[in-house]
Structure 1
Amino acid sequence: MPNLHRRVVLAAGLGLLAASTVRAAGAVVRVDDPRLDALIDPAAPIRTLFDDGRWCEGPCWAPGLGGLVFSDTKANRIRVLADDRSVKTLFDPSENGNGNTLDGQGRLITCEHRTRRVVRREPDGTKIVLADAFAGRRLNSPNDAVVAADGAVWFTDPVFGITQPEEGILAEPEQGARRVYRVTAPGTPAAKVEAMTDALDQPNGLAFAPDGRTLYVSESGASLNPEAGRAVMAFSVGADGRLGPPRTFAPIEAGVPDGLKVDGAGRVYAACGDGIRIFAPDGTPLG
């Protein structure tokens, strides 16, 4: 598992390069729980692998595409970072792409701000629209996506891409809420877009626990409204895929949580304003 852990931390960290301020030199690992020592060397340094992005988002480890795929949202392109640290552009323009993930067949799924839709890239380059509307109205600006064990695509739909000038096209929301959605049988005639919860102000990153019984979602409402929420929330997932009521998994006192990853042991990695915060499955801060 060490390589997986390294890549998860790298993936979460990449999303911060363009979004955070430069931190002072010195120690970069804060240990809140001794269990962190089994995961990260407290003396580990940060190595910058790429620093030419305007607003890096949506890291996704995709060996079939050449390495770590990520969106440079404000630059309107999607790029890939190879093991040899070379970087190439996959898609330009990217429709202000943000979150990326892979389905079970290794196909890239991307949330596009500019078109306000979720799309899938086929092996021949064809782009299939998985979701662009709900209840007859356009989505806000899909932000991040994850694929469940049954192949359904889950995604968040805050308003960042229609309220931030460089992240999409300014527009009034057509949806009455910012929701988490699920697309069943994506890309087929039987596909259905379902609203799973509207409990969060601005849902952002999302990830499933290894057993699929918990869905973690970043509440990033405070980025637009200081009085709104800033926490990693958790929902129980029923046998039918329906969500239980939200509970606060990890409060965030500074900035807001953005991208989320979960490793094979169930630890949750949250990209936050002050770094990558890591939590045990029970919500204990590890560091």
Structure 2
Amino acid sequence: MKYRIIFLGIVFYTIFNFYNCTKQEGFPVIPTLFVDGNFTRAEGIAFNGEGKLYVTANKAFWRLDTEGNTTKLVDLYTNLGVAAYGERDLLVADFGPTNRFKHGPNDDGIVWRITPEGEKSIAATGGMGDPNFIAVRNDGSYLVSDDATNEIFIVDQKGRVSLFMDAIDHPNGMVISRDGRSLYVAQIFKSLNPVVADNRVWRVPLDEKGDPAGTPEVIARINGENAGPDGLAMDSLGRLYATVPMRGEIWRIDPATGKKQLIAEGMPGIASIAFGQGDFDRNALYGASTRRGGGRIWKIDVGIGGARLCR
């Protein structure tokens, strides 16, 4: 009887903790459609320093208001990553006229600097094939991933492009830790020919200058087939959020422990995400979906705000 009571106690404790860890937090949540029917495909999404929301969609750059109304600002070649830069402007990654997926190796990728009024100028070009995601550093330089290769570039304040690292194949989403000593990178593919999805999220140690300072390590693998982690974001506690577009999911990852939790699902093609700013919900993620998801823009209530981003 004694051992039976102990056994039942262990079972109850396990069930209680499972309930607390899953149900009490209320995850996965049901995402809310924020914009539907305006775009056929979208990808990049970011808030600028004024708290305004911008996306890349239908080969153009758009502003969205809190009601989901959209305003086209300027045309682009492609729909890719967006990052706030300075007080008002944004940096936008663009494959340029050609890309490796259709045309083979190239170096005509572009990073645009775009104002809230839609004024577009070249911030960086030359040497980059297919810029995808942008992460701004605290000195005003920024990192640009090329998910068709193994290259992450750095662009200095004068627009000069150089190789930052090439140790991770097919890097996509990136985020810099709050202390500036780690770079987190989502690896979307194992290979392009044939196309095979990967499932890893990496940590790159950085020195006090923000340069690579050691061998990258895998901090998490997204469970299941067709993972292909794409966009990354970070909350105010330093936890990562990774999109899985092929499965329409967002996962939360604790970099310290590698613990993963499914946060939301049912968003086909969800690619890039950003925490709300300004008059938008600051405890929610806003996400853009690719052609697979019909270009929808989603709102996902996660109950916590985002980490402070360098601009």
- TM-score normalised per structure 2: 0.65
Structure 1 counterpart of 2:229, from 230, 233, 257: 257
CA deviation digits over 1:135-158, x for unaligned, max 9?
xxxx21100101111211111013
Which of 67, 91, 110 is the aligned partner of 2:52? 67
Report the Cα distance in structure 2 between the residues aligned to 1:198 and 1:43, rounded to whole angstroms.
35
Report what 1:55 is aligned to: 41
Larger Rg: 2
Quote the residue 1:230 is aligned against: 199
Structure 1 segments of 4+ aligned residues over 3 angstroms from their partners: 31-38, 40-44, 122-126, 225-229
Q: How does 1:20-35 map to 2 (within 5 A)?
A: none
Matches within 5 A, 1:85-96: 85-91=68-74, 93-96=75-78
CA RMSD of aligned residues (A): 2.7
- 1:234 touches 1:248 (CA, 8 Å); kept in 2? yes
Structure 2 letter corresponding to 1:219: Q
CA distance in 1, matches of 2:28, 2:242: 21
Distance in 1 separating the partners of 2:210 and 2:28: 42
Aligned to 2:260: 285
Looking at structure 1, the residues matched to 152 and 20 of structure 2 have their Cα atoms a distance apart, in angstroms, of 35
| 1:197 matched to 2:165 | yes
Distance 2:124 2:161 in 1: 7
1:148 aligns with 2:148: no
Q: Go from structure 1 to structure 2 and tell me whether the alpha carbon gap of 1:201 and 1:67 turns closer, same or farther (over 3 Å shift).
A: same
Deviation at 1:71, TM superposition (A): 1.3
Query: What is the rounded CA distance, in whole Å, between the counterparts of 1:45 and 1:123 in structure 2?
Result: 31
Please give the alpha-carbon distance, in whole angstroms, between the structure 2 residues aligned to 1:235 and 1:248: 9
Contact 1:234 1:247 in 2 (8 A): yes
Instruction: Tell me if the contact between 1:182 and 1:195 (Cα under 8 Å) persists in the aligned partners.
Output: yes
The Cα shift of 1:104 comes to 3.0
Partners in 1 of 2:169 and 2:162 — Cα distance? 18
- Partner AA of 1:195 in structure 2: L
Q: CA deviation at 1:35?
A: 5.8
Q: Deviations over 1:95-119 (max 9, x none)?
A: 2131000113231100011251111
- 1:114 corresponds in structure 2 to 96
Q: Which amino acid aligns with 1:261?
A: A
Number of the residue aligned with 2:302: none
Check whether the contact 2:82–2:133 (CA below 8 A) recurs between aligned residues. yes
Conserved in 2, the CA contact under 8 Å of 1:118 and 1:130?
A: yes
What is the CA–CA distance in structure 1 between the aligned matches of 2:230 and 2:177, rounded to whole Å?
Answer: 17
Per the alignment, residue 270 of structure 1 pairs with: 242
Q: Which runs of 5+ in 2 are unaligned?
A: 1-16, 98-108, 263-311
The residue identity in structure 1 corresponding to 2:200 is A
1:183 aligns with 2:160: no
The equivalent of 2:282 in structure 1 is none
Q: Deviations over 1:161-187 (max 9, x none)?
A: xxxxxxxxxxxxxxxx531111122xx
Report the Cα distance in structure 2 between the residues aligned to 1:227 and 1:43, rounded to whole angstroms. Answer: 27
Between the aligned partners of 1:215 and 1:44, the Cα distance in structure 2 is: 28
Counterpart code for 1:267: R
In the alignment, is the contact (CA less than 8 A) between 1:206 and 1:218 conserved in 2?
Answer: yes
1:67–1:41 Cα change, 3 Å: farther
Q: Is the 8 A contact 2:198 2:229 kept in 1?
A: no
Deviates more, 1:223-232 or 1:79-88: 223-232
User: Percent identity, aligned pairs only?
Assistant: 25
Determine the structure 2 residue equivalent to 1:132.
125
Query: Residue 281 of structure 1 aligns to which amino acid in structure 2?
Result: P
* Counterpart Cα distance in 2 of 1:63 and 1:130: 18
Question: Is the Cα contact below 8 Å between 1:67 and 1:80 reproduced in 2?
Answer: yes
- Which structure is higher in RCO with an 8 Å CA cutoff and minimum separation 6? 2
Rounded to whole Å, the distance in 2 between the matches of 1:153 and 1:33 is 42
Alpha-carbon distance, 1:235 to partner: 0.3
**One-letter amino acid of the structure 2 residue matched with residue 121 of structure 1:** I
What is the alpha-carbon distance in structure 1 between the residues aligned to residue 47 and residue 19 of structure 2?
28
Matches within 5 A, 1:205-216: 205-216=173-184
| Distance of 1:209 and 1:41 partners within structure 2 | 26
2:211 to 215, 222, 242: 242
- In 1, Cα distance between the equivalents of 2:68 and 2:119? 28
